[in-house]
C-alpha cells in the first residue's frame, strides 16, 4: 500500500521494551493534512534528546488525537509470566492503542506500525476488535511522521514514568541495559531486598539472574 505525507493515518510505536527498568509504553497518534504545519521538528524519537522528546510530546498532544498505554513493571511481569512472548504483548498493546485513537478521529485511511514481528498477529488482534482499518507494517516505520509522533509520545511517557518509579523507590533508574543498570539493580537488592525488583524492573531480562546470582 502506498501513502503520502498528506494521507490521514494512525502511527503506532513503543518505548521501554529494551529497558530493564521502567514500563512498556505503547502510543498511537493520528496525523492528517491539517496537522502537518504544527508538527515541524517531529522525527524518530531515537534521534532526539530526552528534553526534545518531552517538548515535542507536549506539542503533539495539543494538536493530534492520540492514545498512550502504559504497562508498569508489576503488570508487565504478570502479563509476561502468562504470555511468555514480548511480541504478543506488543500486538495486544498496538491494537488497543490504534482502536482507541480511531475512536477519537475521523478519516483515518490506514494504520502504520514497525515490523516488530509477523504483522498477521497484529492484524488478527485488530480484527478481533472489529477494526477494519488497513495495516501497513514496515521496517524503520519511524521515518513516517505519524509513527515518529507516536514514538515521541511513547518515549516521553516512558521517561516520566521511569523518573517517577525512581523517586518512589529512592534510587536513580538508568535507561537501557548494561553495567550502570546492573549496578542500580544490585543497589536496590542490597538496600530494599530482591522483592523490590519486580516493582521497577522487567524480570525476564537476563539482568535479573545476573544481579541475584
The residue ranges of every structural domain in the chain are: 9-208
pLDDT at 120 over 90: no
d(CA 84, CA 181): 23
d(CA 44, CA 18): 16
CA dist 208 → 166, 193, 195 (Å):
17, 13, 12
| Host H or E run for residue 82 | helix 73-83
Region 85-94 average pLDDT:
92
Region 112-136 average pLDDT:
88
Which architecture characterizes domain 9-208 according to CATH? 2-Layer Sandwich (3.30)
- Residues 59-71 have pLDDT tens digits of 999 999 999 999 9
Strand partners, 161: none
Strand-pair category, 24-31 with 110-114: unpaired
Q: Given this model, what pLDDT does residue 40 score?
A: 85
The neighbour count for residue 128, using CB atoms within 10 Å, is 11
Question: Radius of gyration of the chain from Cα atoms?
Answer: 18
| Host H or E run for residue 12 | strand 9-15
- Residues 162-194 have pLDDT tens digits of 999 999 988 899 999 999 999 999 999 999 999
Q: Given this model, what pLDDT does residue 202 score?
A: 97
- Residues 96-119 have pLDDT tens digits of 999 999 999 999 999 999 886 678
Region 154-161 average pLDDT:
97
Q: Give residues with Cβ within 8 angstroms of 106, minimum separation 6.
A: none
Strand-pair category, 135-138 with 110-114: parallel
What mean pLDDT, rounded, does the chain reach? Answer: 93
- Residues 32-82 have pLDDT tens digits of 999 998 998 887 778 889 999 999 999 999 999 999 999 999 999 999 999
| 3-class secondary structure, 202 | coil
Q: Given this model, what pLDDT does residue 117 score?
A: 61
Amino acid at each position: 500500500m502506498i501513502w503520502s505525507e498528506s494521507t490521514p493515518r494512525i502511527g503506532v510505536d513503543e518505548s521501554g521494551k529494551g529497558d530493564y527498568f521502567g514500563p512498556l509504553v505503547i502510543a498511537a497518534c493520528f496525523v492528517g493534512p491539517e496537522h502537518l504545519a504544527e508538527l515541524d521538528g517531529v522525527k524518530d524519537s531515537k534521534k532526539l534528546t530526552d528534553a526534545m522528546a518531552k517538548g515535542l510530546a507536549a506539542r503533539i498532544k495539543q494538536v493530534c488525537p492520540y492514545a498512550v498505554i502504559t504497562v508498569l513493571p508489576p503488570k508487565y511481569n504478570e502479563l509476561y509470566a502468562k504470555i511468555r512472548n514480548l511480541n504478543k504483548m506488543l500486538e495486544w498493546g498496538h491494537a488497543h492503542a490504534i482502536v482507541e485513537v480511531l475512536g477519537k478521529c475521523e478519516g483515518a485511511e490506514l494504520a502504520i506500525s514497525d515490523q516488530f514481528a509477523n504483522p498477521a498477529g497484529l492484524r488478527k488482534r485488530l480484527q478481533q476488535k472489529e477494526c477494519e482499518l488497513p495495516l501497513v507494517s514496515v521496517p524503520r516505520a519511524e521515518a513516517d511522521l505519524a509513527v515518529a509522533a507516536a514514538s515521541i509520545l511513547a518515549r516521553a511517557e516512558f521517561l516520566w514514568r521511569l523518573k517517577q518509579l525512581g523517586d518512589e523507590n529512592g534510587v536513580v533508574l538508568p535507561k537501557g541495559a548494561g553495567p550502570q543498570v546492573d549496578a542500580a539493580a544490585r543497589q536496590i537488592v542490597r538496600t530494599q531486598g530482591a522483592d523490590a525488583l519486580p516493582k521497577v524492573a522487567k524480570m525476564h531480562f537476563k539482568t535479573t539472574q545476573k544481579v541475584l546470582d
